[in-house]
Structure 1
Amino acid sequence: MRLTDRVWVIGGGGLGYGLSSHYDCNVYAVDTGAQIVLIDAGSGIEPELMLRRLEEDGIPSDKIRTLLLTHAHADHAGGAAEWRSLLGVEVVAAEYTAGMVESGDEVLTSLAAARASGTYPDWYRLAPCPVDRIVKAGDTIRLGDMSLRVIAAPGHSFDMVCYYCPEWKALFAADAVFAEGKLAVIGTPDFSMDDYRETIASLSRLDVEQLFPGHGTALTGNGGGAVAAAHSRFGQSLPPLSIV
């Protein structure tokens, strides 16, 4: 589904667009002018649904050469091995994420706990996937005629990063912030409200027009308003609004 002239959403489950597996995050396909980049991989459950979305949207699969991961939670990174196998994409992630994805660590990624609570099916496992390129906060990834700045965004998970495109004033926010200023507050060991507060303060200093979150609905205008709303609640010591 096309969101802007350069961004499509090809995946999203129960908390998103309903385009693919119930267990998927929003998966974005971004036209950089030189190639198509995927941001996040989904869960790896029923990957054929996202392949179908690509075909329906007229996105040639042979132009997809890079997959950027935001963090190692299974709904975002569980499909990395599938995309790498199907399309031969270069998998890019920050260091902590890369370690968990490569080893398929179901404890540090909180998948074991989530599966035990019924969030994922009993049979679901995190498929290990090699990471081809490791990035760090502050790096700029140049792709075609646009760039993506890597921004540390711990809180929802300790390893999370966002990707910010200054040319488009676009924030690919993962699970850092959502429409209406909502957050993703969970009870896993890798969650930290103190870190979340600092992350939202950091994101509030960006000039954001387009907001592409990991769940829910993307905002193609006034995306910074959602970040400001979350920042305001922290500033007033109000409990955050959560999507879960």
Structure 2
Amino acid sequence: MAPPPAVAVAPGVFRIPTIGSSAVNSFALVDDDGSVTLVDTGVERAPARIVAGLAALGKRPADVQRILLTHAHPDHAGGAKEMAARTGASIAVHEDDAGFVESGESPPNDRSSTMGRIFARLQNGRFPAVAVAEKLGDGQVLDVAGGLRVVATPGHSPGHVSLLHERTRTLITGDAIFNVLGLRHSPRMLCNDFRLSKRTAHVLGELEYDRVGFTHGPEIVDGAREAVRSFLAKSAMA
């Protein structure tokens, strides 16, 4: 069975699967005036699925006013250039990842393990370069669908961010935490600095929210904060 083109996470917040049913996700936030903010753009071939997801919400590419990227990796920024062209929307990303988005090259990965060094030799971290119109900073509250707070969670990439939609109390973790066969940290070999990524993920346990959306894996809509805090407490002891 084909995955649904879009999944409601909270009022005005929708997950758009771009690979499988939830392997890689983008998000659409719909404002009161009907405009859309898109969070992440999947791999280079993802725009077709994003457009289909928007259509399922009764939206067209022209309704997208802003594209936010959680970080500069090919499975999150790969479709940014095409989506910017289709929508006319500007690209925003944390200032520490902006240079990577504009060069179309991922940050270097963590080479502190054997697997990390092997992965560094094998990976092709390139994606279509695209201009960045806005550089985000930690704690910034964007005028998006009632307020979207930027939460810096570096380590997966130097400028990785999570996002808190304050009106619906919905957290989007980016790759700070995966929900793949349970909650987990991003694998070390995929991170720029694995130890930093683990450490900064604990910020997410201190926030207030009711639902959590993941860029890898399905959302949690019941007991979300408790689930995240429990995972972080266990991972701190590991």
Coarse TM-score class (shorter-chain normalised): 0.7 to 0.9
Aligned partners of 1:60, 1:5: CA distance in 2, in Å? 19
Moved more, 217-226 or 174-183: 174-183
The answer to whether the aligner puts 1:96 opposite 2:88 as a matched pair is no
Query: Taking structure 1 as the reference length, what is the TM-score of the superposition?
Result: 0.81
Aligned partners of 1:77, 1:109: CA distance in 2, in Å? 16
Match of 1:129 in 2: 130
The answer to whether the aligner puts 1:181 opposite 2:198 as a matched pair is no
SS of the residue corresponding to residue 174 of structure 1 reads coil
Letter matched to residue 100 of structure 1: F
**What pairs up with 1:163-242 in 2 under 5 angstroms?**
163-179=163-179, 180-188=182-190, 190-193=192-195, 195-235=196-236, 237-238=237-238
Aligned partners of 1:225, 1:117: CA distance in 2, in Å? 38
**Which residues of structure 2 form unaligned runs of 5+?**
1-5, 111-117
SS of the residue corresponding to residue 155 of structure 1 reads coil
Deviations 1:30-75 (A, max 9, x none): 1122321101111121522321232233223221111111000110
SS of the residue corresponding to residue 105 of structure 2 reads coil
**What pairs up with 1:1-244 in 2 under 5 angstroms?**
1-3=6-8, 4-14=10-20, 16-17=21-22, 25-34=24-33, 35-106=35-106, 108=108, 117=122, 125-144=126-145, 146-179=146-179, 180-188=182-190, 190-193=192-195, 195-235=196-236, 237-238=237-238
Q: Give the deviation of 1:115 after TM superposition.
A: 8.8
Report the count of equivalent residues. 222
Match of 1:242 in 2: none
Q: CA separation of 1:162/1:46 partners in 2, compared to 1, >3 Å: closer, same or farther?
A: closer
Q: Give the deviation of 1:114 after TM superposition.
A: 5.9
2:185 and 2:198 in contact (8 A); partners too? no
Aligned partners of 2:87, 2:61: CA distance in 1, in Å? 7
2:97 and 2:158 in contact (8 A); partners too? no
Aligned partners of 1:189, 1:149: CA distance in 2, in Å? 23
Q: Give the deviation of 1:93 after TM superposition.
A: 0.7
Q: CA separation of 1:171/1:192 partners in 2, compared to 1, >3 Å: closer, same or farther?
A: same
Aligned partners of 1:190, 1:142: CA distance in 2, in Å? 30
SS of the residue corresponding to residue 231 of structure 2 reads helix
Letter matched to residue 11 of structure 2: D
Letter matched to residue 53 of structure 1: G
Query: Taking structure 2 as the reference length, what is the TM-score of the superposition?
Result: 0.83
Q: Give the deviation of 1:105 after TM superposition.
A: 2.1
SS of the residue corresponding to residue 37 of structure 2 reads strand
Moved more, 37-46 or 47-56: 47-56
Aligned partners of 2:151, 2:82: CA distance in 1, in Å? 26
User: What's the % identity of the aligned pairs?
Assistant: 25
Letter matched to residue 133 of structure 1: E
Q: Give the deviation of 1:202 after TM superposition.
A: 1.3
Deviations 1:160-179 (A, max 9, x none): 11111222211111011234
Q: Give the deviation of 1:107 after TM superposition.
A: 5.6
Aligned-residue Cα RMSD (Å) equals 2.4
Q: Give the deviation of 1:188 after TM superposition.
A: 4.3
Aligned partners of 2:152, 2:162: CA distance in 1, in Å? 7
**Which residues of structure 1 form unaligned runs of 5+?**
19-24, 239-244
1:178 and 1:226 in contact (8 A); partners too? no
1:156 and 1:185 in contact (8 A); partners too? no
Q: Give the deviation of 1:29 after TM superposition.
A: 0.8
Aligned partners of 1:83, 1:10: CA distance in 2, in Å? 14
Q: Give the deviation of 1:90 after TM superposition.
A: 1.3
Q: CA separation of 1:208/1:85 partners in 2, compared to 1, >3 Å: closer, same or farther?
A: same
Aligned partners of 1:52, 1:216: CA distance in 2, in Å? 19
